[in-house]
């Protein structure tokens, strides 16, 4: 079910805002998506009527909060087809990946061995590996594709006898390229290599069935799929998570503590020290309810049609450098010849009410490969329309004239 303009404006109040007299056109979805009112209402309801700390209390509010929190986990588990104990709440993809690198780093699974990543990663799936390699004594192998375009055969040729783990994005936040994670996982498993997928962009646009695709570990963020900021998920196969050591230590993640030792809690608590973001989890559940109502298939189809349309229109402009490969989704990354991307973004906002991102997009190794320091990015979700893309094209033509 896709929504009418009227429903969209009712469900996403930001879409009713204007910049000067221009209705906002929100094309910054790869950074964060808009929040529907069922999400803000769910969070408000939690804080207004049920707010209490979870798992620890015998009183009514604590029981209600615990039930809401654990129901959220169940919904998310169902959404990705995982077991509930396999869903670890985190602050978002960045924290999920840090959790993973610290935890697997402390284990002896990758000690002295190779971890294969790529230079098309967001810094979240790059810097933790790079920085912690020395601390935990593993090697990082970087697949650095020419022109920033991922190629499966080239990628696979970087796998060696010593490769024990692959950590790769499912979809680039810069080029929108969709990575063949199914093929990577199949190939890796034949060689006993584990695979972690950074699903920050992939999951909101394609959903995922972790059992069917057989991914070992997955990270994603709530705020890129209609949920609130500050909540995300780390998924791992139960049998693997059970063997990994905790990341954070403290309350909630213990079974028994003595002066000599600590016995850790079972999954998922073992990886969730401290008071969790219960309101965030409740909000993420509401976001998933909303996505389910729209339907993932509809979201995919809409993305495809809109991306194809935008690519066709932008390719027709002779003053644009485009950085997308053919198989990109929902993201158009470009520069206007001889105009700084920050100027482009500012003028689009001020004169046309259009929100696009500009800068290095937290992917400097990839931008280096693309031969630039800074770009503009228009990124779509299911509430964006072809008329809005037309406005973007109008804005870009205006900018070209302005700087003539
Ligand atoms: N990975 C990718 C591919 C992303 O696009 C992002 C966010 N731009 C992240 C990781 C980091 O997500 P977060 O900031 O929610 O932790």
Domains and CATH numbers, the chain: 5-30+295-402 (3.90.1150.10), 40-293 (3.40.640.10)
Ligand 1 and 169: CB distance under 6 A = yes
Mutational test site, ligand 1, from 127, 174, 201, 229, max ligand atoms within 8 Å of CB = 201
Mean pLDDT of 222-242: 98
What is residue 386's predicted lDDT score, i.e. its pLDDT?
Answer: 97
Ligand 1 and 50: CB distance under 6 A = no
Mean pLDDT of 336-361: 97
Mutational test site, ligand 1, from 95, 101, 221, max ligand atoms within 8 Å of CB = 221
CB atoms within 10 A of CB 140: 15
Percent of the chain predicted with pLDDT > 70: 100
Mutational test site, ligand 1, from 33, 91, 93, max ligand atoms within 8 Å of CB = 93
- Among protein residues, the one with the nearest Cα to ligand 1's atom 7 is 31
What is residue 207's predicted lDDT score, i.e. its pLDDT?
Answer: 98
> For 7-16, what is each residue's pLDDT tens digit?
999 999 999 9
What is residue 215's predicted lDDT score, i.e. its pLDDT?
Answer: 99
- Chain mean pLDDT for the chain: 97
Distance 117 CA to ligand 1 centre (A): 16
CB atoms within 10 A of CB 209: 12
Distance 364 CA to ligand 1 centre (A): 14
Q: Catalytic annotation on 362?
A: yes
pLDDT at 108 over 80: yes
CB 121 within 8 A of CB 159: no
What is residue 376's predicted lDDT score, i.e. its pLDDT?
Answer: 98
What is residue 358's predicted lDDT score, i.e. its pLDDT?
Answer: 98
What is residue 156's predicted lDDT score, i.e. its pLDDT?
Answer: 98
Distance 256 CA to ligand 1 centre (A): 35
Ligand 1 and 35: CB distance under 6 A = no
Mean pLDDT of 224-249: 98
Please state whether the predicted TM-score (pTM) of the whole model is above 0.85.
yes
What is residue 184's predicted lDDT score, i.e. its pLDDT?
Answer: 98
Mean pLDDT of 317-332: 95
- Among protein residues, the one with the nearest Cα to ligand 1's atom 4 is 200
Mean pLDDT of 363-377: 97
Distance 379 CA to ligand 1 centre (A): 14
> For 136-175, what is each residue's pLDDT tens digit?
999 999 999 989 999 999 999 999 999 999 999 999 999 9
With cut-offs at 50, 70 and 90, classify the pLDDT of residue 1: low
The residue annotated as part of the active site, out of 15, 37, 322, 362, is 362
Ligand 1 and 200: CB distance under 6 A = yes
pLDDT at 364 over 80: yes
């Amino acid at each position: 079910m896709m929504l009418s303009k009227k429903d969209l404006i009712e469900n996403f109040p930001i879409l009713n805002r204007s910049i000067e007299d221009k209705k906002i056109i929100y094309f910054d979805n790869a950074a964060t998506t808009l929040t529907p009112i069922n999400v803000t209402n769910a969070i408000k309801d939690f804080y207004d009527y049920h707010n209490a700390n979870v798992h620890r209390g015998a009183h009514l509010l604590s029981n209600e909060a615990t039930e809401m929190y654990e129901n959220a986990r169940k919904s998310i588990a169902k959404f990705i087809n995982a077991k509930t104990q396999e869903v670890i709440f985190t602050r978002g993809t960045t924290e999920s990946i840090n959790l993973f690198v610290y935890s697997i780093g402390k284990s002896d699974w990758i000690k002295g061995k190779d971890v294969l990543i790529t230079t098309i990663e967001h810094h979240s799936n790059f810097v933790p590996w790079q920085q912690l390699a020395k601390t935990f004594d593993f090697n990082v192998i970087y697949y650095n594709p020419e022109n920033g375009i991922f190629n499966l055969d080239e990628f696979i040729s970087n796998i060696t006898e010593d490769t024990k783990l692959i950590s790769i994005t499912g979809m680039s936040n810069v080029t929108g390229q969709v990575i063949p994670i199914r093929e990577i996982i199949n190939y890796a498993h034949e060689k006993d290599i584990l695979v972690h997928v950074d699903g920050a962009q992939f999951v909101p646009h394609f959903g995922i069935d972790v059992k069917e695709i057989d991914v070992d570990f997955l990270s994603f963020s709530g705020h890129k799929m209609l949920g609130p900021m500050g909540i995300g998920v780390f998924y791992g196969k139960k049998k693997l998570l059970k063997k990994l050591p905790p990341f954070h230590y403290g309350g909630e993640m213990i079974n028994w503590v003595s002066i000599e030792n600590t016995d850790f809690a079972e999954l998922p608590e073992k990886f969730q020290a401290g008071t969790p973001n219960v309101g965030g989890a409740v909000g993420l559940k509401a976001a998933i309810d909303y996505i389910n109502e729209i339907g993932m298939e509809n979201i995919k189809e809409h993305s495809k049609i809109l991306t194809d349309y935008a690519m066709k229109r932008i390719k027709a402009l002779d003053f644009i450098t485009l950085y997308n490969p053919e198989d990109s989704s929902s993201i158009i990354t470009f520069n206007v010849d001889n105009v700084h991307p920050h100027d482009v973004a500012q003028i689009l906002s001020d004169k046309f009410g259009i929100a696009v991102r500009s800068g290095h997009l937290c992917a400097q190794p990839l931008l280096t490969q693309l031969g630039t320091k800074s770009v503009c990015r228009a990124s779509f979700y299911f509430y964006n329309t072809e008329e809005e893309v037309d406005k973007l094209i109008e804005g870009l033509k205006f900018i070209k004239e302005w700087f003539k």
